[in-house]
Structure 1
Amino acid sequence: MSTSISIFDTTLRDGTQGEGVSLSADDKLKIAKKLNDLGVQYIEGGIPGSNSKDIEFFKRVQTLGLSSKITAFGNTRRKNTEASQDRNLQSIIDSGAQAATLVGKSWDFHVYTALQTTLDENLAMIYDSISFLKQNGLEVVFDAEHFFDGYKNNPEYALAVLSKAKDAGADWLTMCDTNGGTLPHEIHDIVSTLTSNLPQANLSIHTHNDCELAVANTLSAIQAGARQVQGTINGYGERCGNANLCSIIPTLQLKMGYDCIEPASLSQLANTARYVSEIANVHMPVNQPYVGSAAFAHKGGIHVSAILRDSRTYEHIAPELVGNKQRILVSELAGQSNILSKAQEMGLEFDPSNEQSGKVIDKIKDLEHQGYQFEAADASLELILREANGEISELFSFESFKMLVEKSAGNPVISEAFVKLKIDGQSVYTAAEGNGPVNALDNALRKALSQSFPILKEMHLSDYKVRVLDEKDATAAKVRVLIESKNVESTWTTVGVSGNVIEASWEALVDSIRYALLGQSAQNEKELNINGQHGLINH
C-alpha cells in the first residue's frame, strides 16, 4: 500500500515574497479555488492582521466551502510576554482558519542575534504559543526556521526545539532550510536522525532554492521519513524561490510511488501552473519540468522520427498524466518527420513521399536561416503547409501601404496608416489612426477588410513582441516580430522578419488576418492567399 504525503501549499504566503509577485485578495481567492481543485491538503493564505487584503482573504475564503485546510501564518509570542496577550496569536484565532503555521527559531545563533533572548526563553515562547493555539481548537504546523543550519551548529538545541513543539501539541514539525544552502545528502542524514529521535512525530519539509536544490532536498527528506511537503506553485518565493510543487508532486507520485493527490487531479497540474502564472502576472519558463510548454517538445528530426514510433523513446512520462501535451517543433533542425507530425496535428493531409514535402522542408530551413522562427508561430507555419498542400487560394491581394508619423511640440505622436488592397477585383483604399504605427496598420487593414469579412470584427491583437536578430548591426539590424491574436474561440501567433520593423509587423499582421479567415474561406469553398508582396509567399 502506498504511503501518503501531505501537500502544504504556501504560494499565497511565501510565494508572494518573491520579487515581482503581488496578489490582491481576489487573486488569492481565485488561486485558492484552483489549489483546492488540484487537491492539496493545506493552503496557507497569509498573515491575518498584517494587512487589509489578508484580512479580507480569510474572511471571504470561508464562504467558498473549500475542502483544503485554510492555514494562517504567524510568529511565536514575543519574549517575556503571555501568549494569551499576544495580538499576533489572537489574530490567527480570529481569522477563522482551520490550522495555523507558527514559525519559531531553531538556530541558537538566531535566538541570540535576532531575538536577543536566552535559549530557554525561546523554548518557552514555542511551547506557550503552540499550547495556546491548540487550546483554541486549531491544528498547528510548527515551522522550525533555519533548522538545518541550526542543527549543524548545535544539534542538541535544534532537536530540543522540535521536542518542545511536539510536547506542546504541534501536529506537524517542519524542518526549514530557510537559507537554501543545505545539500541533499545532509538533508537525508539529518532527517534520518530525527525519525529515530522523534519516532512518533509527523515531520514536514520546507526548502528554498538558493542552490537549485529545493526539489532534490525535498525528495531526500521524504525518502528519510518526512511525510509533508511545503512548497509553492512554479517555485515562487523569496530570493531564488521555494520548492516547486509542480516538480515535486509528479515526481513523488509517478516516480517514487507515494500518494499526494488524486490521479485525476494530477492531470490538472499543468493547467494549474499556467493559471497561477497568469494571475500572478509572472512569465512561466517554457522549459519548466513537467508543466512547461517545452517540457515535451521535440525539435531534432531523429528524435521526432523515434517519437512517432513510440513516445517512450524521448519522453520520461506520458505528458497527459500531468495535463501537458507533446509538441513537435519545426525549425532548421527539422526533418520530414517533424513536418509530417505537424501537418497531422493540424489535420492536414501531407504525403511524406511527395516531392513537395522536401520543398517545404527546404523552404522552412531557408526562412529560419533568414530569421523566421515557427516554434512559437504555429499559425504562420500552418499557412505555409496549407499553401504547399494546394489548399489556399486568393481572397484579397495587397497593393500598397504607407505610414505617416507626426510629432509636434506639446502633443503626443500621431500615427496614421494608409492601406490599398484589391478585394473581388475592386481596389479598396482606407486610412486609420492608431496609438503607434503597428496599431494604425492593424486598424487600417481590418477596416479595409471588415465589410467583406465581418468575422474580423471578433478578432483583436493580444500581444506584440520584437526581437533584434543582429545586434552588431545596431539600428540597421533585422528584427523578428511575433504577433498574438485572439477571437472568441482561440489564440494564434504569427511571425514576420525584416530589416524594417514596420514591414516585419506588416507580414505578421497579414498572416494573422489570413489565419483568422481560414474558417470563413472553408465555408466559401475558398482559401486565402496574398500574392507577390507578402514575405512568406515569395522569399
Structure 2
Amino acid sequence: MTEALPSTSNPNQIWIYDTTLRDGTQREGLSVSLEDKLRIARQLDQLGVPFIEGGWPGANPRDVQFFWQLKEEPLKQAEVVAFCSTRRPHVSAAEDSLLQAILAAGTRWVTIFGKSWDLHVTEGLKCSLEENLEMIRDSVAYLRSQGRRVIYDAEHWFDGYKHNRDYALKTLAAAIASGAEWLVLCDTNGGTLPHEVSSIVRNVAAFISVGAHSCAPLPIPQIGIHTHNDSDTAVANAIAAVMEGAKMVQGTINGYGERCGNANLCSLIPNLQLKLGYKCLADAQLPQITEVSRFVSEVVNLAPDEHAPFVGRSAFAHKGGIHVSAVERNPLTYEHIQPEQIGNRRRIVISDQAGISNVVAKARTFGIELDKQNPTARQILQRLKELESEGYQFEAAEASFDLLMREALGKRQHFFEIKGFQVHCDLVEGRTNTNALATVKLTVSGQDILEAAEGNGPVAALDRALRKALVNFYPQIAQFELSDYKVRILDGHSGTAAKTRVLVESKNGHQRWTTVGVSPNILEASYQAVVEGLEYGLMLHMMAETVLSTSS
C-alpha cells in the first residue's frame, strides 16, 4: 500500500476515492453479498484506485465480515476505508459504540461525516449548534489519538454554506483543529450547479489557507469533493471542484448511488486524466476501466448502460454512412478520444442508415475483406436495407448480418436443412400449460432426422428439439446456451396479425452472439433466430478449429 498518502510530489495528482461498496449500494434495486463486495474491492484494487470505502462497520454483519476478510487477505495497492458518523450528541467519542466499531475494523484510514447545515443540526440531531461542533472536534481528535488518519466528509456542505456560511465554516474549522487530513465537501442533495461549486470551493480553499497557520503543527488538510447526480451535474460539479483545487474525488463505478446516483468515476477519471491532464490512475491501468465498469454491473446484476460515455458499448459506435466513411479515414472526425485509451473499442453499426462504408468496415471486423467497388458489397447493402424495411434489426443481431454477408459471397456453410417443425401446447382449464412439445424434421449430412422435445414454453421446446436432433452430428452444440430472448411487436395496430421481431442471444461459454427473425408468426420468427443462432455457433467452432490446426 502507498505509505505517503495523501501528500505527493505531483501537483496534478488526484486521489480517487471509490464509494461503490457503501454509497453505491444505496441505489434502489441494488444488492450485494459479502462475496460480491470482496470481488468488487479486488477489481478496484487492480484498477489502481487508492481509496476504497468498504462500508459502515457495525451497521450490519456483512460490513463487519468484509473488513475482517480484508484483514486476512489485504488488498495489494488500495487503502480500504471504514465509514461512520461523528459521535452522537451528549456522549463522549471514547464511549460511543459507533466509533468503537470503526476502530475494530482495523483500517489505517477512516472517514467520518458531520453536519454542515444548521437545519440538520437543529431538526435532525435535535441538538445545539455548539454541541455539533464539539461532536466533530471530539470524534476527529479521538480517532487521531487512536492512530487513525481521518477523512472528514462535510455532509450537506453546499446547502449549509449557502444557508449559513459562517456556521458551515466553523464546522470545517473544528475538523481542521482536531487533525482531519482531508475535508471533503459533499453535495448530498445533488442540487448544486457547477458555477456554485466553483465559487464555494474557491472560498473554502482561501479559508483553509488563511487559517492554516493557527493549526500548527497539525497537517494542512486538503480538499475533496463528493457529488450526487440529482441535477444531472455530478460529474461536472466534481470537475469544477478539481479545477478550483480539490485533490480528492469521491464517486462510484457506473454512478451507482441513492436516488439519481453519485458522480460516475467511469466518466470522471477519463475526463480528468485524458482531457485535463490530471493524474488519477497509472497509464497502464486506465484501459482497465471499461472492463471494471462491466464487471461491476455484472456482479450487482444490473444491465450495463450501453450508451454510457467512455465505457458504454455504443460510446464509439458509428451508424450513419457519412460518419463511418469519415471515421475510416480519420477517427478524430467523430471520436473525442481513442477508445483503446479506456479499454473500449470502435464499433461499426449496420442498419438501414448504413452506407457502403458501413458494410466494408463491418465485414472487416468479421475477417471478410470487401472492396467498395465490388458489386457484391452493393448487393449486401441493398439486401440489408430491404430486410431492415421489413423489420429486421441487424445492429442488434450482428451474427445474422455476418451470415447474410457470407451467403452473398457464397461462403456460408449450411450445416443442416430444416424441413419443417410443429409446436404443440396443451390447454388446461382454459390456461396454457407451461410445458410445450416441439417436433422438428431436418436433414443432416444426407440423413433425414425426426426429433421431438419438451420445454418450458414453445421456444424452449423448439430449441431443445433442434439440439437433440443435431448433437450426435455436432457434439459441440451441447456447449451452446440460449441466454436471452426478446420479442417486439413491430406494427401494433395490426393486432394479432402484427409482425413480430425476435432477438435471440446465444453463448458457448466464452463468446456471445445475437440472431434475429421476423414474421407475423411469433413461432416462425423465433425459429429463424434460433436456427441461425445454432448455425452461427457451429461456424464459430469450425473457425476456431481451423485456427488451432493451422497454428499447430
Is TM (by shorter chain) over 0.5?
yes
Counterpart of 2:502 (choices 481, 488, 497) is 481
Moved more, 78-87 or 511-520: 511-520
- Does the 8 Å contact 1:2/1:257 carry over to 2? no
Distance 1:390 1:153, change over 3 A: same
C-alpha separation in 2, matches of 1:463 and 1:262: 37
1:13, CA displacement in angstroms? 0.3
**2:26 paired with 1:6:** no
1:55-96 Cα shifts (integer Å, max 9, x gaps): 111111223331211111111111011111111100000012
**2:138 paired with 1:128:** yes
**3-state SS of 2:501 partner:** strand
Match of 1:46 in 2: 55
**3-state SS of 2:358 partner:** helix
Match of 2:173 in 1: 163
**2:180 paired with 1:192:** no
- Does the 8 Å contact 2:349/2:358 carry over to 1? yes
Counterpart of 2:452 (choices 427, 431, 450) is 431
Question: In the TM superposition, what are the counterparts of 1:139-538 in structure 2 within 5 Å?
Answer: 139-199=149-209, 200-408=220-428, 412-519=433-540
1:349, CA displacement in angstroms? 2.5
1:524, CA displacement in angstroms? 10
- Whichever residue aligns with residue 480 of structure 1, its letter is R
1:156, CA displacement in angstroms? 0.6
Match of 2:6 in 1: none
- Whichever residue aligns with residue 419 of structure 1, its letter is V
**3-state SS of 1:226 partner:** coil
Distance 1:377 1:202, change over 3 A: same
C-alpha separation in 2, matches of 1:471 and 1:76: 58
- Does the 8 Å contact 1:209/1:243 carry over to 2? yes
- Does the 8 Å contact 1:407/1:414 carry over to 2? no
**2:148 paired with 1:116:** no
1:363, CA displacement in angstroms? 0.8
C-alpha separation in 1, matches of 2:52 and 2:396: 35
Match of 1:532 in 2: none
C-alpha separation in 1, matches of 2:73 and 2:360: 48
1:6-44 Cα shifts (integer Å, max 9, x gaps): 000000000000111111000000000000011111111
**2:24 paired with 1:15:** yes
TM-score normalised by L of structure 1: 0.95
1:374-404 Cα shifts (integer Å, max 9, x gaps): 1121111110111111102433211100011
Identity of aligned residues (%): 50
C-alpha separation in 1, matches of 2:496 and 2:192: 48
Count of aligned pairs between the two proteins? 525
1:328, CA displacement in angstroms? 0.3
Distance 1:191 1:296, change over 3 A: same
Question: In the TM superposition, what are the counterparts of 1:30-109 in structure 2 within 5 Å?
Answer: 30-66=39-75, 67-109=77-119
Unaligned 5+ residue runs, structure 1?
526-539
- Whichever residue aligns with residue 341 of structure 2, its letter is L
Distance 1:522 1:219, change over 3 A: closer
- Does the 8 Å contact 2:501/2:525 carry over to 1? yes
**3-state SS of 1:433 partner:** strand
- Does the 8 Å contact 2:254/2:265 carry over to 1? yes
- Does the 8 Å contact 2:453/2:462 carry over to 1? yes
- Whichever residue aligns with residue 322 of structure 2, its letter is I
1:424, CA displacement in angstroms? 2.2
Distance 1:123 1:445, change over 3 A: same
**3-state SS of 2:87 partner:** coil
- Whichever residue aligns with residue 35 of structure 1, its letter is L
Distance 1:244 1:80, change over 3 A: same
Match of 2:3 in 1: none
**3-state SS of 1:292 partner:** coil
1:488, CA displacement in angstroms? 3.2
1:422-465 Cα shifts (integer Å, max 9, x gaps): 12222110000011111100000011111111121111111112
Match of 1:28 in 2: 37
**3-state SS of 1:372 partner:** coil
1:471, CA displacement in angstroms? 3.0
1:280, CA displacement in angstroms? 0.7
- Does the 8 Å contact 1:329/1:375 carry over to 2? yes
C-alpha separation in 2, matches of 1:413 and 1:238: 38
C-alpha separation in 2, matches of 1:279 and 1:486: 19
**3-state SS of 2:151 partner:** strand
Moved more, 284-293 or 195-204: 195-204
- Whichever residue aligns with residue 84 of structure 2, its letter is G
Distance 1:359 1:105, change over 3 A: same
**3-state SS of 2:428 partner:** coil
- Does the 8 Å contact 1:468/1:479 carry over to 2? yes
**3-state SS of 1:496 partner:** strand
- Does the 8 Å contact 1:45/1:57 carry over to 2? yes
1:521, CA displacement in angstroms? 5.1
1:183-216 Cα shifts (integer Å, max 9, x gaps): 1000000000111110243000000000100000
- Whichever residue aligns with residue 28 of structure 1, its letter is K
**3-state SS of 1:390 partner:** coil
- Does the 8 Å contact 1:480/1:497 carry over to 2? yes
C-alpha separation in 1, matches of 2:541 and 2:291: 30
**3-state SS of 2:534 partner:** helix
- Does the 8 Å contact 1:232/1:244 carry over to 2? yes
C-alpha separation in 2, matches of 1:524 and 1:84: 67
**3-state SS of 1:19 partner:** coil
**3-state SS of 2:285 partner:** helix
**3-state SS of 1:414 partner:** strand
1:81-137 Cα shifts (integer Å, max 9, x gaps): 111111110000001222111011000111111011111000000110111111111
Distance 1:521 1:32, change over 3 A: closer
1:469, CA displacement in angstroms? 2.1
C-alpha separation in 1, matches of 2:93 and 2:378: 77
C-alpha separation in 2, matches of 1:476 and 1:211: 44
C-alpha separation in 1, matches of 2:522 and 2:176: 65
C-alpha separation in 2, matches of 1:500 and 1:362: 25
**3-state SS of 1:268 partner:** helix
1:224, CA displacement in angstroms? 0.7
